[in-house]
Structure 1
Amino acid sequence: MKKVAFVCIHNSCRSIMAEGWAKHLGEGVIEAYSAGTEKYDAPKPMALEVMTDAGVDMSHAKSKLLDVLPDDLDILITMGCGVECPFVPCNHREDWGLDDPSGGPKSGFEETRELVRKKVVELIERIEKGEL
């Protein structure tokens, strides 16, 4: 199983969604974590709502900082928020370049949810093929 961390600035929307999808779809393949580089009070309610609408359990979701990540990460994924991630040791790092739907309509959150789901499915497939 690969330890995967999803990181953005606040850990309140995209990275929370990615962690949720990875836990939901990647059981036995991914041990998922998420974190932010800046302290934030809580996940965006709309992010949690659209994930719950898709049948994903988000009861685990809370905004966290990088210090919660395990020391032995396999993969670190940034969400595309221009975050300058401090050095976090990992075997593979990539950026998904996703726009932040915060402040927009529910449809923007739903679009982001589906983009994140697609990226997580592709990540799982790459891990299962031994590419990562």
Structure 2
Amino acid sequence: MKKIYFLCTGNSCRSQMAEGYANVLLKRQYECRSAGVETHGLNSYAVEAMAEDGIDISQQKSTLIDPDYFNSADLIVTLCGDARDRCPVIPPQAQSIHWPLPDPAKATGTHEQKMTVFRQVRDEIKKLVAGLA
């Protein structure tokens, strides 16, 4: 089975949402994981936004890049410039894609204002992941 690795800075929002969608939309085609160049913990707004769309990511963990999985991946997707810039050298067998998405964790304001930003990023991620099918 082919492998996809979704990478962002802290593996707390964007890459977690991408993994959640990929595990539902691509599960027959790919093994899907996410990681970060750092770990920041799973963002509760990301969990809430995904739950609104019927995807439960509440049990996912914020993890660092696993060199073995990274080196065996068929597709590596970076979801922010920091991850793209700090990512290890892409292995020769892997294709890489960069999705320059805004960091929803930087959203400010009320709970609802933050959720609006998370929903926008979530919906874009869903479209991008669906496009990999």
- TM-score (norm. length: structure 2): 0.85
Match runs of 1:5-16 below 5 Å: 5-16=5-16
- Structure 2 distance, partners of 1:39, 1:113, is 20
Change (3 A) 1:77 1:113: same
Identity of aligned residues (%): 37
1:81 Cα deviation after fit? 3.1
Relative to its length, the structure with more helix (as a share) is 2
1:119 aligns with 2:122: no
1:69 Cα deviation after fit? 5.4
The unaligned stretches of length 5 or more in structure 1 are 125-132
Q: Which runs of 4+ in 1 moved over 6 A?
A: none
> Which residue does the alignment assign to 1:31?
31
> Which residue does the alignment assign to 1:62?
61
> Which residue does the alignment assign to 1:50?
49
Task: Output one character per residue of 1:61-87: Cα deviation in whole Å (capped at 9) or x when no partner.
Answer: 110000265131100000023322012
Aligned-CA RMSD value = 1.5
- Structure 2 distance, partners of 1:107, 1:16, is 18
> Which residue does the alignment assign to 2:99?
96
Aligned length: 123
- TM-score (norm. length: structure 1): 0.86
1:27 Cα deviation after fit? 1.7
Q: Report which stretch shifted further, 54-63 or 92-101.
A: 54-63
**Secondary structure class of the residue paired with 1:21:** helix
Task: Output one character per residue of 1:69-110: Cα deviation in whole Å (capped at 9) or x when no partner.
Answer: 513110000002332201242420110111111132110000
**Secondary structure class of the residue paired with 1:76:** strand
1:72 counterpart letter in structure 2: S
Q: Is the 8 A contact 1:48 1:58 kept in 2?
A: yes
Match runs of 1:68-107 below 5 Å: 70=69, 71-83=71-83, 84-89=86-91, 90-104=93-107, 105-107=114-116
The unaligned stretches of length 5 or more in structure 2 are 108-113
